[in-house]
Amino acid sequence: MHNRGMNAMSRAQTEFLRARLRHRGPDWSGIHTYQDCYLAHQRLAIVDPTSGDQPLYNEDKSVVVTVNGEIYNHEELKANLKSHQFQTGSDCEVIAHLYEEYGEEFVDMLDGMFSFVLLDTRDKSFIAARDAIGICPLYMGWGLDGSVWFSSEMKALSDDCERFISFPPGHLYSSKTGDLRRWYNPPWFSESIPSTPYNPLLIRESFEKAVIKRLMTDVPFGVLLSGGLDSSLVASVVSRHLAETKVARQWGNQLHTFCIGLKGSPDLKAAKEVADYLGTVHHELHFTVQEGIDALEEVIYHIETYDVTTIRASTPMFLMSRKIKSLGVKMVLSGEGSDEIFGGYLYFHKAPNKKEFHEETCRKIKALHLYDCLRANKSTSAWGLEARVPFLDKNFINVAMDIDPEYKMIRRDLGRIEKWVLRNAFDDDEKPYLPKHILYRQKEQFSDGVGYSWIDGLKDHASEHVSDSMMMNASFVYPENTPTTKEAYYYRTVFEKFYPKNAARSTVPGGPSVACSTAKAVEWDAAWSKHLDPSGRAALGVHDAAYEDSLEKAPASADPVSESVFRPAHGESLAKTVAPAAAV
C-alpha cells in the first residue's frame, strides 16, 4: 500500500510495482483506490480459493484491508463477532471486523502469521502490522513527496522510496500517531531467567496443537523433510493426525514429504529413512553444485539479503520450491525456529551458564526475521509456495521459553545432547513418534546437510570472481558491513546490483559469527574469534564427529574469517535495525 498525491500515474505506478510481487501470489490481483491511498494485492489462494480475493472489507466497505498470511483462530474470532456479517470464507476477513469492533488494539488476538495494511476511509487513517516473530515479511518506506509505503518485499519500494526499513516484528504502525509501537509483549521478551520445571507432556501437547492448527488448507500440501529432528517431528505429528482433519477429506490422508540435496548427501539418506518409517509419499529432489551456482543471482534478488548463511541455505530451498510447486502443491510445513528456541546450534555446547544460554535463545528468536524466517518465506514465495512454521507458534514459544533453561543446557554427564528437552518430550516407547536413533540424531545445518561440497563449491566460485586486490580494498568499496571473505564479497556485489540504495544494504545485519551464533556468543570461546565461519562445521569440537579430535584443531573447511550474523542484544533496538514480510 501507499498514500500520495492523487493522479492517474499513481494508480499505474501501483499496478507496475504490484507486478514485482506477482511471484508471491500468482492466483489473483486486486487493487483498491480511495482518494490518494492505494492498496494492491497479489493472492496465493490457500483458504477459500473461490471467494477470498483481496482487498477484503467490512460490511459497508469503509474499512479496507490487504493481508499476507494465515489467521489460524479465525473461526473462534468470528464466533465472538456475532453482530458482524462476513462476506467470504477467508480467514483474513476477520481483521477488518476486529478493527471495526476494537480499534487498533486487536492485533494480539490474532493467532497466525501475517503482515497487513488496513485503511479506514471514515477518517482516512491507516495501520500496518506484522506478526510476532516476523514469519511474513514486511517493509516500510518513505517517499520524498511525503508518501508512506508498505510492501511484502523490498523490490516494490526501491524505486520510489528515499528510505525504507524492514518493519519490526510484533509491531504496529498507526498513521494517527505516526509511530511504531510493539504490540507483542510475551514474558520471555525481557530475557529474565524463567524457573518453571520442565514438563515434557506440555511441550509435546502444545507442539502437536501448533502443527494441527497449521493444517488449515483447501489446497494440497506437504512437509519439508530434511531427516533432522525438527522436520522429522513435524512430519511425524502431521502423519499421526492427518486422518482426522478436514484437509484429509478433501485431498486424502496420504502425507507427501519433500527433501533436496546433492546426490549422496546426509539429508537425503536421513529423510528417506524417516519417510519410510512414517509411510509418506516421499519426493527426493536432487540438484548439482552448478545448478545452485547458476541460480545464485535469482536467489539473491528474491531473498533480498547478502548474509552468507542465508544465501547458502536459501539456494537449495529455492530450487526445491520450484519443483514442489510443479507437482501442484501450494503449502508446506517446515521446521524453522526450533534451534533458536531450544539452543540447538552446536555452539550452544559452549554456553558458560544457563543465564547466557537463555539470553542467547532470546536474541536468536528476536532476530529470526532477518535470517531463517526470511529464507523460509522468500525462497518458497519466489514460486508461489507458502511455508508454515509450527515451532514459531505463539503459544508454543511461550511454553518452551518458560522452561528453566537449566534443562536446555547440554550436559553430556547426564546424557543430554542439544535440544534434549524436545527429544525427550517425543520419546514414547508405547507409540513412538520416531526411531530412537533419529530422535537423538545430531544436527546438520541445512546448508551443510544438503551436501558438504555445496559450501566448498560456493567458496571456489566466489574465488574465481573476487580477486585479492578487491578484498584488500573491500573496506573502501563497502564501508558498511564490510565483507571479510570472497564469498561474502561476491554476494554483496550481486545484492548491490539489484538494490543499490543505502537503505537496502542497511536492512541486512552484519558482524562476527561462528556457526550461526550472535556476535555476543562469539565471546564464549577464545578460539572462535580466530576461526569465524557461519557453517555449523565451525563449532569447534562440539559435533560428535569432532569429539575425538583435539579442541584446538580447526576444521579444514573454516574460512579464516567470515561475516555472517549479528543479532541485536535487546528487542527495543529492533525498530532501528530490522526488515522483511506481506503481499501488499
Q: Tell me, yes or no, whether 346 and 267 share the same domain.
A: yes
Q: Is residue 581 part of a domain?
A: no
**Helices (H), strands (E): how many in the chain?**
22, 17
Say how far apart CA 228 and CA 226 lie, in whole Å: 5
For 386-429, write each residue's pLDDT tens digit: 999 999 999 999 999 999 999 999 998 999 999 999 999 999 99
Evaluate if residue 456 carries a pLDDT over 60: yes
Same-domain check for residues 67 and 162: yes
pLDDT higher than 60, residue 4: no
**Mean pLDDT, to the nearest integer, of 274-300?**
98
User: pLDDT (tens digit, 9 = 90+) per residue, 58-75?
Assistant: 999 999 999 999 999 999
Average pLDDT in the chain = 89
Residue 556 lies in a domain: no
| Residue 293 assigned to a binding site | no
Q: Each residue of 520-573: pLDDT tens digit?
A: 888 888 777 776 776 665 555 566 655 444 333 333 333 333 333 323 333 322
Amino acid at 344: G
- Does 453 count as an annotated binding residue? no
Residues 536 and 443 sit within 8 Å (Cβ to Cβ):
yes
How many Cα atoms are found within 13 Å in the side-chain-facing hemisphere of 316?
Answer: 32
Q: Find cell 482487498 and name the residue.
A: 55
Task: Give mean pLDDT, residues 439-468.
Answer: 87
Nearest CA to 69 out of 445, 394, 532 is that of 394
Number of domains in the chain: 2
For CA atoms 36, 42, 45, 49, give the dihedral sign: positive
pLDDT of residue 52: 81
- Residue 73's pLDDT is 97
- Residue 149: give the domain boundaries: 11-185
217 with 349, same domain: the answer is yes
Say yes or no to pLDDT of 440 above 80: yes
Give, in degrees to the nearest 5, the angle at Cα 377 between 502 and 207: 135
Q: Rounded to whole angstroms, how far apart are CA atoms 90 and 46?
A: 9
Backbone phi, then psi, for 217, in 5-degree steps? -160, 145
Q: What is the pLDDT of residue 530?
A: 72
Residue-level pLDDT at 545: 55
Residue 206 and residue 331 in one domain: yes
Q: What percent of the chain has pLDDT over 70?
A: 89
Which H/E stretch holds residue 246? Answer: helix 246-251
Confidence of residue 135 (pLDDT cuts 50, 70, 90): very high
Q: Are residues 170 and 248 in the same domain?
A: no
C-alpha cell, 120: 479506514
Residue 579 falls within a domain, yes or no?
no
Under the banding of pLDDT at 50, 70 and 90, the label for residue 512 is confident
Residue type, 332: V
- Domain termination residue (choose one: 162, 185, 208): 185
Residues 178/200, Cβ–Cβ less than 8 Å: no
Shared-domain flag, residues 194 and 181: no
580 compared with 29, residue with greater pLDDT: 29
Last residue of one domain, picked from the residues 143, 162, 185: 185
CATH classification at residue 497: 3.40.50.620
Q: What is the pLDDT of residue 1?
A: 61
Check the annotation: does 91 bind a ligand.
yes
Residue 435: cis peptide before it, omega within 30 degrees of 0: no
Residue 335 is labelled as binding a ligand: yes
Domain boundary among 185, 210, 236: 185
DSSP letter for 331, please.
E
Residues 223 and 170 placed together within one structural domain of the fold? no
